[in-house]
Structure 1
Amino acid sequence: MDLNRVSAFVRVVADGSFTGAARALGLPKSSVSRSVAQLEQDLGIRLLHRTTRKLHLTDAGAAFYDRVSRALTDIDEATVAAADMQAELRGTVRVTAPVDLGAAVLAPVVARFVRKHPAIHIDLVLTGRVVDMVAEGFDLAVRVGPLRDSSLIARRVGQLDSALYASRKYVARRGKPKDVDDLANHDCVLFRPTQGKELWRIVNPAGEKREVSVVGAISADDLSFVRKAVLSGAGIARLPQFLCGREEASGVMVRVLPEWASEGGILHMAYPSARYVPQRVSVFREFAAGELAKVSKQCEAAELARRNG
């Protein structure tokens, strides 16, 4: 079977006309029509019903198209993949991530990667909104917590725990809460509250779980802002430990109710469900997944060390 004739048939069906297929293939319309007719003769079946206005697939034509179009796509992807593997890694990888995670964690990861692969450009978009990866042309997304889009492939790379923090100046002014119920008597800085309240789910080393609803005069949809508000003495907030480690070590920020922590958000790398992924994307994905897993383990080790003394 002549694959050129099969390709011509697939193009005709995809474009809905011999004229459109001829334009796409850069061939005379008569050549495309002749190729399809010869294919039908080779197969001994009619693939298309032709009218003056439209083309219609026969039942046999529809079944044939379904199989051969996928086979031709596989051939195209294999050809591109083989060429990609031989070529120098270059081009753009588009990545999206939350603002706080991108600034605090991904910046050094990307810097290390481009030192190893200087011909690859990482276009990192930091945003608090959930982007449409396919429509907006993103290759990868870094997400914390459950994924809303079930069409994406999600790869778990770690877990990022949160804790309750206040600045030393706030503690000097208001003191620390003595127990979980005492949080109601303190100022809190809220992250994405619902109806003016934020629900904190916390757990202690014994596995006891509590839920506490807190209020405060300040709320924001950006964790970096919440962190800075806490550092300014505005109140207590639930914050990721990776955002506060340096300030906690220096004594500027302190843990309140240190035996309680927020159950961690799962750290994912997500990407569209596509069969062929350019090598530059897969190389960055593997590198970033490994580096993010290290960050997760470092946070876990720091928390264990703190609890042990």
Structure 2
Amino acid sequence: MLDDLALFVTIVEEGSLNAAALRENLPPATVTRRLQKLESELGYRLLNRSARRLQPTAEGWQYYERCRPLVRALRQATQQLDASLSDISGTIRVLAPVNFASGLLTPAWASFLHQYPDIKLELEMSNRLQDLVASGADLAIRVGSLDDSSLMQRRLGSAGLVMVAAPSYLARAGVPQDPSQLDQHQLIVAEPLRTWRLRRPVDGAEVVVQPQARARLRVNEMRLAVEMAHAGLGILLCPVLQSRLEVADGSLVRVLPEWMPEPRHVYAVWTQRRYLPARVRVLLEHLADFAAATPSLQQ
């Protein structure tokens, strides 16, 4: 009804149905139909119409005088909102996992802030899955499967995983030759990797390991989990990025290298809105471009 009310105000201001149709870029028949619909809903005639002139009725004048300031205020508010949505400035609040946001994505945040000096970035990092709607954040980075179908999403890439252990641990406990032998070992479980999905490319065999029962340590901070594996406390499944330096210098070695852990997809997610503000859209595109140019996110 608000659209029809605004159209009625335009008709009175323009002085004719055809002029109002031209201003609103509508077919004249549509303007006539919507006017008749509004009159029907109100229960009285708003305009006296003849072949040569259009004149508001007494009720029409009264309705016009009361509605005109409302329509103008609504149009001004809409224009201000449109300007805000298209303005590349303001604050963006992002939720992200601690190690991922403060490690791999660090150059992305820095380059984004250099490129858009009028934007302020608020990064709230947590390894717990936070409610995006309740938090009021504009965007979230999620790693792994997405269960919330109410969120919009854009896949940025995939992060590879690796199973590692310290040479000292393997010398003491033995080297597993098959995933079934993991039951005989001490395991380090790093949240949220509660389930280890392994695939052997040579023959396509797949195994799902539930490590909680054998967990010597469970921790929700990946860097600490890597340090505990480095200390010889057990076998760990972790992101390649978190252990690449230790694997390179030999302080951690790969376990069951013929079995490939299933990569974890990385997504940017946001609440269901028809339009994202321009400042959020440019961040989304910036992250997508960064991910596409980062080999470790294209596993």
TM-score between the two structures when normalised by the length of structure 2: 0.70
User: Does the CA-based 8 Å contact 2:85-2:276 persist in structure 1?
Assistant: no
Structure 2: segments with no counterpart, 5+ residues = 10-33, 44-72
Kept in 2, the 8 Å contact 1:77–1:276? The answer is no
Secondary structure of the residue aligned to 2:280 is: helix
1:80 aligns with 2:78: no
Q: Is the aligned partner of 1:142 residue 2:141?
A: yes
Alpha-carbon distance in structure 2 between the residues aligned to 1:169 and 1:120: 49
Would the aligned equivalents of 1:160 and 1:299 in 2 still touch at CA under 8 Å?
A: yes
Per-residue deviation at 1:271? 0.8
Using the alignment, how far apart are the partners of 2:161 and 2:112 within structure 1?
Answer: 27
Q: Are 1:266 and 2:262 counterparts?
A: no
1:210 aligns with 2:207: yes
- Give the unaligned 5+ runs of structure 1: 10-38, 49-71, 302-309
Q: Shift of residue 281 of structure 1?
A: 0.7
Summarize the Cα distance change of 1:47–1:222 in structure 2 as closer, same or farther, 3 Å threshold.
farther
Identity between Structure 1 and Structure 2 (%): 32
Give the root-mean-square deviation of aligned CA atoms: 3.5
Counterpart in the other structure of 2:296: 298
1:82-161 equivalences under 5 Å are 82=83, 85=86, 87=87, 89-161=88-160
User: How many pairs were matched up?
Assistant: 243
- Measure the CA separation in 2 of the matches of 1:96 and 1:46: 47
- Paired residues for 1:165-180 under 5 Å: 165-180=164-179
Equivalent in the alignment of 2:275: 276
Evaluate the alpha carbon distance shift between residue 5 and residue 77 of structure 1 in structure 2; reply closer, same or farther with a 3 A threshold. Answer: closer
Q: TM-score, normalised by structure 1?
A: 0.68
3-state SS, counterpart of residue 130 of structure 1: coil
Note the C-alpha offset of 1:218: 1.0
What is the CA distance between 1:187 and its match in structure 2?
Answer: 1.3
CA displacement at 1:228 relative to structure 2: 2.0
What secondary structure is seen at the aligned counterpart in 1 of 2:105? Answer: helix
SS across alignment from 2:103: helix
Q: Cα deviation per residue 1:158-195 (whole Å; 9 max; x = unaligned)?
A: 1112121112332343342222222222211123499x
Shift of 1:209: 0.8
Distance 2:76 2:116 in 1: 28
Work out the CA distance in 1 between the residues paired with 2:162 and 2:114: 34
How far, CA to CA, are the matches of 2:224 and 2:110 in structure 1?
24
Where 1:93 maps in the other structure, the secondary structure is strand
Query: CA separation in 2, counterparts of 1:281 and 1:249?
Result: 37
Taking a change above 3 Å as real, the CA distance of residues 45 and 162 of structure 1, as seen in their structure-2 partners, is same
Q: 1:201 touches 1:210 (CA, 8 Å); kept in 2?
A: yes
